[in-house]
Each structure stands twice: as C-alpha cells, then as structure tokens.
Amino acid sequence: MLLDLFIAFFKIGAFTFGGGYAMISVIEQEVVTKKKWLSETEFVDMLGTVQSLPGPISINSSVYVGYKLRGTLGAMVAAIGTALPSFVIILLLAIVFTDVQDHPTIEKIFKGIRPAVVALIVAPLVRLSQKTGITYKTVIIPIAAALLVWKLGISPIYIIIAAATGGLLFNWIKNRKK
C-alpha cells in the first residue's frame, strides 16, 4: 500500500503543471475514480479541509489521503511522492535554465502551456461547483467575491468573514420564520 501511495502521488506530482488547483482534477481522478481511496463526498470534504490549512493543496491532499490510509507513515510517503517530481524538475531547470531562458523555443513552450494550465484549473472548479450545490442562482456569490478581490483589492479574509456572517444571518432569519 505504501508503494502504491508513493507511485500514485508521484504520478500526480510529475504530470501536473500549474500548481495545486490544477492538480485537483488529477488528484480526484487518481484518488476517487481509479483507486477508490475516497468517495466523492469525502473528496469534497477533503478539499475544504486542505484549502483551509497553510501550504500547497497538493501536499496537503497527499498528506490527508496518506494519513487516512496508512497513518503518519502513509502521510509522509504520499507527501514525498507528490513533492519529489517538482524538486527534481526545479533542480534540473535551475541547472540548465539560465543558459536557455531567452531561447525563442523555450518561450513558445511556456506560452503554449499557459492555456492548458487555465483549463486544468477551470475544469475542477466547474465539477466542484456542481457537487457543492452552486446553481445559476447562487453563482453570483463566488463571482462577486472574485471581482471584489480582483478589481477592488479587498482582502479575501474580509470576504470570508462577510460570507460567514451573511450565511449565519440568512439561517437565523430562515429559522426564525419557522
């Protein structure tokens, strides 16, 4: 099982570009669909948990799954499996990149990767919004939050506090009417 954990998260770490959010669909595919280590509900709950913790989503996810399956050793093995490919790639890039960073072919490669990274981030967002009950009526909330952060520079912390307060107030009013 430990070797299986390492290999699964090594593949996730090796074949995903664009950071933690881009890895979400790959992690879901491996952990929920292929290995069935988590159910879809557990996966959504895991995402909520790991996003609230400091550190990269990919490492936090691997620690969560590894710990769930094999305790502390499983968490360590899964985290190493996730981090090792990036470490090796960054080490190799650091060795050779300074010599080729201005090469036109390298610049074209990175420009070609950008749209793929955006797609890797958007796909799980759409899928997760369907699983969490976001509808066309409630989609205004995440869009408004994103615009407030992006255009007005409001801290996400204030938006989270306002959303939590709004949710509590909404439920209080709703329950009071009963």
Distances (CA, A) of 129 to 70, 100, 135, 164, 174: 30, 41, 8, 18, 24
Express each pLDDT in 86-125 by its tens digit: 889 888 878 877 777 778 888 888 888 888 878 877 877 7
Q: Say what the pTM is.
A: 0.62
Express each pLDDT in 136-165 by its tens digit: 778 888 888 989 999 999 998 999 899 889
